[in-house]
Amino acid sequence: MEHLELASADRELFQVYSGARRPRILLAASGSVAAIKFANLCHCFSEWAEVKAVATKASLHFIDIASLPNDVTFYTDEDEWSTWKNIGDSVLHIELRRWADIMVIAPLSANTLGKIAGGLCDNLLTCIVRAWDYSKPFFVAPAMNTLMWNNPFTERHLMTIDDLGISLIPPVTKRLACGDNGNGAMAEPSLIFSTDADARHLYNKYKHKRMVSKLDAFTWMGSVGAARRLGLHLEELWMRAERLFSYMSRLRVARKSSSLSVREPSRLL
Tens of pLDDT, residues 98-117: 999 999 999 999 999 999 99
Dist. CA 115–CA 100, nearest whole Å: 21
Q: Is-above-0.85 flag for pTM?
A: no
Q: What are the beta bridge partners of residue 105? A: 28, 140
Dist. CA 95–CA 84, nearest whole Å: 12
Burial class from Cβ neighbours inside 10 Å (0-12, 13-18, 19+) for residue 43 reads middle
Indicate which residue of 3, 178, 201, 233 is catalytic. 178
Reading across the β-sheet that carries 50-55, which strands appear in turn?
A: 73-75, 50-55, 24-29, 102-108, 138-142, 167-168
Residue 162 in this model has a pLDDT that exceeds 60: yes
Average pLDDT over residues 120-131: 98
Average pLDDT over residues 86-107: 94
Average pLDDT over residues 24-52: 96
DSSP states along the chain: -GGGPPPHHHHHHHHHHTTSS--EEEEEE-SSGGGGGHHHHHHHHHTTSEEEEEE-TGGGGT--GGGS-TT-EEE-HHHHHHT--STTS--HHHHHHHH-SEEEEEEE-HHHHHHHHHT---SHHHHHHHH--TTS-EEEEE---HHHHTSHHHHHHHHHHHHHTPEE---EEEE-TTS-EEEEEPPPHHHHHHHHHHHHHHHHHHHHHHHHHHHHHHHHH--HHHHHHHHHHHHHHHHHHHHHHHHHHHHHHHHHH-SPPPPPPTT--
pLDDT at 18: 43
pLDDT digits (tens, 9 = 90+) for 189-220: 999 988 877 666 655 655 555 444 444 433 43
Average pLDDT over residues 170-194: 90
pLDDT at 214: 42
- How many other C-beta atoms are found inside a 10 Å radius of the C-beta of residue 257? 20
Average pLDDT in the chain: 79
Please state which of the ranges 1-10, 21-30, 54-63 shows the lowest mean pLDDT.
1-10
Reply yes or no on whether 121 is catalytic.
no
pLDDT at 61: 97
pLDDT at 85: 79
pLDDT at 226: 45
Characterize the bridge pairing of strands 172-175 and 181-185. antiparallel
Nearest to 30 by CA among 138, 131, 119, 104: 104
pLDDT at 121: 97
Question: Hey, CA dihedral for 207, 211, 214, 220, is it positive or negative?
Answer: negative
- How many other C-beta atoms are found inside a 10 Å radius of the C-beta of residue 88? 6
Indicate which residue of 42, 93, 127, 157 is catalytic. 93
At residue 255, φ and ψ (nearest 5 deg) are -65, -30
Characterize the bridge pairing of strands 167-168 and 138-142. parallel
Average pLDDT over residues 15-32: 79
Reply yes or no on whether 178 is catalytic.
yes
